[in-house]
Structure 1
Amino acid sequence: MVATSTIDNESPERVLLRKSVAAAVAPFGPGYFREKAAAGEPTQDLWAAVVKGGFTSVNLPEEFGGGGAGLSELAVVCEEIATAGGPLLLMVVHSAICGPVIAEFGTAEQRAEWLPRWTEPDFRMCFAITEPDAGSNSHNLSLRATKQPDGDWVLHGSKIYISGVDESQAMLVVAKIGTDERTGKGQLALFIVDTDAPGLGKSHIPTELVLPEKQFLLSFDDVRVPANRVVGDPGDGLKQIFHGLNPERITGAALCNGISRYVLDRAVRYANERSVWGTPIGTHQGVAHPLAESKINLELARLMTFRAADLYDSRADAGEAANMAKFASAEAAMKCVDQAIQTHGGNGLATEYGVAHLWGLARLIKIAPVSREMILNHVAQHSLGLPKSY
Structure 2
Amino acid sequence: MRTIIAQAVVEERMDFGQSPEQEAIVDGVAAVCRRFGDDYWRSCDDEARFPREFHRAMADGGWLGITMPEEHGGAGLGVTEAALVMHTVARHGGAMAAASSIHINMFGPHPIVVHGTSEQKARWIPPLIAGTDQACFGVTEPNAGLDTTSITTFAAKVPGGYRVNGRKMWTSTGQVANRIMLLTRTTRKEDARKPSDGITLFYTEIDRSKVEIKRIPKMGRAAVDSNMTFIDDLFIPEEDRIGEEGKGFAYILDSLNPERVLVAAEAVAIGQDALDRAARYGRDRSVFGRPIGQNQAIQHPLAECWTALESAWLMAQKAAWLYDNGRPCGAEANAAKLLAGRAGHNAALQAVLTHGGMGYAKEYVVERLLREVLICRIAPVSEQMVLSFIAERVLGQPKSY
TM-score for both structures, normalised by structure 2: 0.92
Q: Is 2:279–2:302's contact at 8 Å kept on the other side of the alignment?
A: yes
Query: Any idea what the Cα deviations from partners look like across 1:45-66, whole Å, max 9, x if unmatched?
Result: 1111111111111111111111
Change (3 A) 1:165 1:38: same
1:92–1:248 CA contact under 8 A, matched in 2: no
Is 1:276 the counterpart of 2:287 in the alignment?
A: yes
CA distance in 2, matches of 1:224, 1:268: 54
Q: Is the 2:260–2:336 Cα contact (8 Å) retained in structure 1?
A: yes
1:41-80 equivalence runs, <5 A = 41-80=49-88
Instruction: Return the offset for 1:82.
Output: 0.8
Shift of 1:255: 1.1
Match runs of 1:1-390 below 5 Å? 8-87=16-95, 88-90=98-100, 93-148=103-158, 150-178=159-187, 179=189, 181-390=192-401
Identity of aligned residues (%): 34
Deviation at 1:184, TM superposition (A): 4.5
Partner-residue secondary structure (3-state), 1:171? strand
Contact 1:21–1:55 (CA under 8 A) maintained in structure 2: yes
What is the aligned partner in structure 1 of residue 11 from structure 2? none
User: What displacement does 1:167 show?
Assistant: 1.4
Unaligned runs of 5+ in 2: 1-14
| 1:1-36: CA deviation from partner (whole Å, max 9, x where unpaired) | xxxxxx932212112211111111101112211210
Q: Which structure: greater helix fraction?
A: 2
CA separation in 2, counterparts of 1:226 and 1:183? 27
**TM-score (normalised: structure 1):** 0.95
Which amino acid in structure 2 is aligned with residue 164 of structure 1? T
Q: Which sits farther off after the overlay, 288-297 or 251-260?
A: 251-260
1:184–1:231: structure 2 CA closer, same or farther, 3 Å change rule? closer
Q: Secondary structure at the match of 2:65?
A: coil
Count of residues in Structure 1 that have an aligned counterpart in Structure 2 = 383
Moved more, 48-57 or 89-98: 89-98
Structure 1 unaligned regions, length at least 5: 1-6
- 1:4 alignment counterpart: none
Does structure 2 retain, via aligned residues, the 8 Å contact 1:55–1:74? no
Q: CA RMSD in A?
A: 1.5
Change (3 A) 1:184 1:35: closer
Contact persistence 1:93–1:126 (CA under 8 A):
no
**Structure 1 186/374 Cα, relative in aligned 2: closer, same or farther at 3 Å?**
same
The alignment partner of 1:84 has SS state of helix
Question: Matches of 2:221 and 2:289 in 1, distance apart?
Answer: 36
Q: After the TM superposition, which of the residue ranges 219-228 and 47-56 deviates more from structure 2?
A: 47-56
Q: Check whether the contact 2:89–2:99 (CA below 8 A) recurs between aligned residues.
A: no
SS in structure 2 opposite 1:335? Answer: helix
Cα distance, 1:315 vs structure 2: 1.9
SS at match of 2:109: helix
